[in-house]
Structure 1
Amino acid sequence: MNTISKLTIAGVLSLGLFTAQSCVQDDDYATPPIECNLPSPNISLADLVSKVTAGSIKLDANKAIAEDLIVQAYVISSDETGNFFKTISLQDKVENPTTGIQIEIDGSNLYNSYPLGAQVQINLKGLIVANDRGVMKIGSVDPQYTVGRIPSAVMSTYMVKTCEAIQTIKPKVVSSLTDALKPENLNTLVTIEGVQFSDPDGDKTYGVSGATVNRVIVDKKGKETDLRNSGYATWYADVLPKKSGSITVVVSRYNSTYQVFIRDTNDVKFDQPRFDVGGGQNPGGGNNSEAANLLFKGSDFNVWADFLYSINSFGLVKDTYATSGVGVGRDNTNALLLKGTPKANDYVFTTIVNNTIPATPKKITFYVKGTSGKSLSLNVYKSDKKYVVYNVGDLSNSNVSLSPIDANQYTGKIDTKGEWVLVTLNIEGVDIQKTAGENIFALKVGKDEAYDLVIDNIKID
């Protein structure tokens, strides 16, 4: 901005000049007026999110911000083509952002007032700032919602475009979905290289009229995520490109599930040949061969209480090396963390039947990442209450498929090179236990060697 007001922030706000001192509204954003006497921001977006998360910001009786706080950020989304609805995503820097946030506005054609690349200031006093279903948002007080939409009639009271010239936002560039789908990238602009649509022949178009749909994108390691496309976007009927390449997205999340959005199809640069998913190079990760259904309640470990409820009367191993791994699971969800040195060949847990078991299941799968001096052994229980044994043995960064053997063994070492590796237990022909309350699955570890493993998503198909 060209000139900073000599008034104090408190004085500006008390005089009600926040809106009056904003830039002259003009479509010629390249030549903003010389004067733009906005108060200086007094909190960074990163500090705002950190303090809201820690609960260290003063709130009023409605849980709205009670302090005179002003934050500054850049617009990275646009509702011009219809894929964003009554929301704007903001990040703290033009390039290499550290923090993003979403602001909820009950209005349309927001791009006219807040175009892509514009710097905006937000007066936070009286607004809600909170985590809503996995995403940090700014909005109004609304008893029906965690974060409500700010009425468009009063929007300029809270958010104004500064007189800084429109900037070209430079996306963070990553080479995989794993690198893109991280908490620090939420509501920031990211370009993901080496991706393609999973089923362009079947899906055919970006969307369908009048409804929001998902189109799955996949990277070379087989990791997938949903590209969300509105049926009201001007390009919903465009044909999906069949090649591979890069895509520029706003990263978002719904609860623990990541999803991404494009502004328009110019964000999709698929001009390279399609690739074979996995390609023989580090096929760990991805859902292509992962089973569909949780083996028992809580076997994705996202809700630790559900997992503990599914364990038989012997409970979780009494030693403290088996704990809830918060945020360390696939897609940064929760998982089972094995970290320590067992003193015995332990049953870490044995779970019971409390979920629907397919009539003729063929496989049980789970993901593992990390290192250990000894390996894992798995027991799958049959209808006669006996069990069959699967030993993982040596495990590197390649998916493995295991068949039953005679006895539990812990020989072998695990080092997945920091990648998620899919372990498949072949249970075709096994008369697996289906009676509710009976034992169905056990995980065992060997003694006197260090384990530093993450286990996630135990499923059956």
Structure 2
Amino acid sequence: MKNLKQYIIIILFVTGIISFQSCIKGDFEQPPVVMPTVDFKANMTIAELNQYYRDSLHSASPVLITKDIIIKGVVISSDKAGNIYKSLYIEDGTGGINIKLDQKEIYNIYKLGQRIYIKCKGLYMGNYKGVPQIGYSNSGSLSYIPSTLFSTYIFKDSFPGNPPAPRVMNISDFTLNDISTLIKLDSVHFAPADTMQPFVVPGTAYGTDRTIIDKNGNSIVIYTSVYADFATALVPKGTGSIVAILSYYNGTNSYQLYLRDINDVQGFHE
């Protein structure tokens, strides 16, 4: 009788452990991952939107987009390294666009290679130093789209894939249509005065320009923010390749480049 009671107690104890483990497993099971999809199509390319802005909307102040314009593109930027701030860059094969978002660590929300659609109606279009941008209006200036409105205007489609390969270009070939796209420059070197110096001059308030030169003597600056995690890295000697987002600064009427991270500086050797 005593052995029977012990046996029953053991059975109940084991059953309780199994039930407890099942409850824990049930409480912490991950919800199924649902692939995001959209049920609408883009009706304008990014290049067409940029041209529409230049031809029809251009003004000194941000312009409200009143037409039912939908664009799509793939994310080519990442703010993980801190060199890009509250901006999302997408391109669609025809051009690129900078979207101003009131959000830090955007890379956690819109990852490299993520295809997104943007319903532009209700947003504003403007430019910063010659670079077309989509954003929101704040007292007559182009501001960031509030995070509470992301789901109203920005829609993911499918899971992130491979980001577009950068287009191999020459500095002399850049046009305004290439702004905000991912490009690659081969066989370039940094200006001798910049090499073995940190990408950002210590103590500067915002950032630093470093000059790269191609084999034909053409040059362009790479701008690095003081907040970049590679700000103290040394500018390499030798020749290599640069992958970057092409930008523009009409204060000097010149193109400039933004690195996404230090891995965009590739293969430099003397």
Instruction: List per-residue Cα deviations over 1:287-328 (Å, max 9, x = no partner).
Output: xxxxxxxxxxxxxxxxxxxxxxxxxxxxxxxxxxxxxxxxxx
User: CA 1:178/1:37 → structure 2, altered by over 3 Å: closer, same or farther?
Assistant: closer
**Other-structure match for 1:87:** 87
Instruction: List aligned pairs for 1:445-456, cutoff 5 A.
Output: none
**Other-structure match for 1:63:** 63
Query: How big is the shift at 1:187?
Result: 0.5
Contact preservation (8 Å) 2:47, 2:177: no
Within the candidate set 183, 188, 193, 1:195 is matched to 188
**Other-structure match for 2:55:** 54
**Other-structure match for 2:102:** 106
Query: How big is the shift at 1:116?
Result: 1.0
How far apart are the structure 1 equivalents of 2:255 and 2:188? 16
**Other-structure match for 1:264:** 261
How far apart are the structure 2 equivalents of 1:205 and 1:178? 27
SS in 1 for 2:101: strand
User: CA 1:84/1:106 → structure 2, altered by over 3 Å: closer, same or farther?
Assistant: same
User: CA 1:269/1:200 → structure 2, altered by over 3 Å: closer, same or farther?
Assistant: farther
Query: How big is the shift at 1:85?
Result: 0.5
Q: Which residue type is aligned with residue 126 of structure 1?
A: G
**Other-structure match for 1:232:** 227
User: CA 1:202/1:169 → structure 2, altered by over 3 Å: closer, same or farther?
Assistant: closer
Q: Which residue type is aligned with residue 218 of structure 1?
A: I
Query: How big is the shift at 1:36?
Result: 2.2
Q: Which residue type is aligned with residue 142 of structure 1?
A: N
Q: Which residue type is aligned with residue 150 of structure 1?
A: I
Greater helix share, structure number: 2
Q: Which residue type is aligned with residue 257 of structure 1?
A: S
Matched, 1:247 2:233: no
Matched, 1:141 2:134: no
Within the candidate set 124, 147, 154, 1:159 is matched to 154
Q: Which residue type is aligned with residue 242 of structure 1?
A: K
SS in 1 for 2:132: strand
SS in 1 for 2:180: coil
**Other-structure match for 2:6:** none
Query: How big is the shift at 1:263?
Result: 0.6
Q: Which residue type is aligned with residue 177 of structure 1?
A: I
How far apart are the structure 2 equivalents of 1:99 and 1:201? 31
Query: How big is the shift at 1:117?
Result: 1.2
How far apart are the structure 1 equivalents of 2:87 and 2:171? 24
Query: How big is the shift at 1:67?
Result: 1.9
Q: Which residue type is aligned with residue 184 of structure 2?
A: T
TM-score, structure 1 length as denominator? 0.47
Query: How big is the shift at 1:132?
Result: 3.2
How far apart are the structure 2 equivalents of 1:51 and 1:243? 42
How far apart are the structure 2 equivalents of 1:119 and 1:249? 19
**Other-structure match for 1:340:** none
Query: How big is the shift at 1:214?
Result: 0.7
Contact preservation (8 Å) 1:113, 1:161: no
Q: Which residue type is aligned with residue 116 of structure 1?
A: L
Matched, 1:123 2:124: no
SS in 1 for 2:118: strand
**Other-structure match for 2:213:** 218
Which runs of 5 or more residues in structure 2 are unaligned?
A: 1-31
Contact preservation (8 Å) 1:199, 1:216: no
Instruction: List aligned pairs for 1:292-311, cutoff 5 A.
Output: none
Contact preservation (8 Å) 1:68, 1:124: yes
Query: How big is the shift at 1:200?
Result: 5.6
Query: How big is the shift at 1:202?
Result: 5.8
Query: How big is the shift at 1:185?
Result: 1.3
Instruction: List per-residue Cα deviations over 1:387-441 (Å, max 9, x = no partner).
Output: xxxxxxxxxxxxxxxxxxxxxxxxxxxxxxxxxxxxxxxxxxxxxxxxxxxxxxx
User: CA 1:131/1:230 → structure 2, altered by over 3 Å: closer, same or farther?
Assistant: closer
**Other-structure match for 2:172:** 178
Question: How many positions carry a matched residue from both structures?
Answer: 233
How far apart are the structure 2 equivalents of 1:142 and 1:199? 43
Q: Which residue type is aligned with residue 187 of structure 1?
A: S
Higher normalized contact order (CA 8 Å, seq sep 6+, divided by chain length): 2
Q: CA RMSD in A?
A: 2.4
How far apart are the structure 2 equivalents of 1:142 and 1:178? 37
How far apart are the structure 1 equivalents of 2:36 and 2:256? 41
Instruction: List per-residue Cα deviations over 1:255-296 (Å, max 9, x = no partner).
Output: 1221101111111114343xxxxxxxxxxxxxxxxxxxxxxx
Query: How big is the shift at 1:101?
Result: 0.9
Query: How big is the shift at 1:105?
Result: 1.1
SS in 1 for 2:89: strand
**Other-structure match for 2:198:** 205
Contact preservation (8 Å) 2:129, 2:249: yes
Contact preservation (8 Å) 2:75, 2:163: no
Instruction: List aligned pairs for 1:38-49, cutoff 5 A.
Output: 38-49=39-50
Q: Which residue type is aligned with residue 254 of structure 2?
A: T
Identity rate, percent: 31
TM-score, structure 2 length as denominator? 0.79
SS in 2 for 1:38: coil
Q: Which residue type is aligned with residue 176 of structure 2?
A: P
How far apart are the structure 2 equivalents of 1:164 and 1:55? 35
Which runs of 5 or more residues in structure 1 are unaligned?
A: 1-30, 274-461
Contact preservation (8 Å) 1:64, 1:127: yes
Contact preservation (8 Å) 2:38, 2:155: no
